[in-house]
Amino acid sequence: MMTPKELLDIMLGYLGFVVQIEETRNEGGNLTLQIYTEESRRLIGRDGATLDAIQFLLNRLLQAKDQNAEKVIVDCEHY
């Protein structure tokens, strides 16, 4: 089974992004995937819409495999 980090890396690769992903846990214990890329403006999108869509899709894919999967927060350049 793929980890959330691996799945996100594959998703972004299909979209043509070259990224580095850092996996951390925030104060609440939630998994956060921090994305670093030279194309952060394109990845974030207008008002964060693209980043929100990527987070939504990632969580849907994870929950499709495991209904009890924890919610993952996707961030780019600390947006």
Structural contact between residues 29 and 21, judged by C-beta atoms closer than 8 angstroms? no
- pLDDT, position 4: 97
Percent share of the chain, pLDDT over 90: 89
pLDDT tens, 45-58?
999 999 999 999 99
- pLDDT, position 11: 97
- Domain assignments of the chain as residue spans, ordered by start: 4-76
Percent share of the chain, pLDDT over 70: 100
- pLDDT, position 15: 96
Helical ranges in 1-68 per DSSP H: 4-14, 40-44, 49-65
SS3 for 31? strand
Residue for token digits 């008002």?
Answer: 47
Q: Say which CATH superfamily domain 4-76 falls into.
A: K homology (KH) domain (3.30.300.20)
